[in-house]
């Protein structure tokens, strides 16, 4: 299920514990845009399901991606979210 309004952060893999270099929020059908230079990044997400799906449930997840040199865009990044317990 795609989730809207997930807060996203991109962190460089080369500097663990470093600050996020890009932020965003998922939109319609869970789509999102982050502008990144070439490199490896950990994309972290945190959000929740709509209230019509039941009580408030916080979801979190992450995925590691590579942005290659010369990449105009990267499509189909899937960030799997799980309930934060």
Q: What is the pTM of this model?
A: 0.85
User: pLDDT tens digit string along 15-69?
Assistant: 888 899 999 999 988 899 999 999 999 999 999 876 666 667 889 999 999 999 9
For strands 7-12 and 39-48, give the pairing: antiparallel
Residues 42, 8: contact at Cβ < 8 Å?
A: no
For strands 7-12 and 82-83, give the pairing: unpaired
- Per-residue confidence (pLDDT) for residue 11, from 0 to 100: 96
Dist. CA 60–CA 47, nearest whole Å: 7
**pLDDT band at residue 79 under the 50/70/90 scheme:** very high
């Amino acid at each position: 299920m795609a989730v809207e309004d997930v807060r996203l952060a991109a962190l460089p893999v080369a500097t663990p514990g470093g600050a996020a270099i890009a932020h965003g929020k998922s939109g319609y059908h869970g789509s999102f845009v982050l502008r990144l230079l070439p490199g490896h990044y950990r994309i972290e997400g945190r959000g929740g399901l709509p209230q019509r799906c039941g009580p408030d449930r916080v979801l979190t997840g992450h995925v590691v991606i590579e942005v290659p040199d010369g990449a105009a865009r990267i499509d189909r990044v899937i960030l799997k979210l799980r309930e934060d317990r």
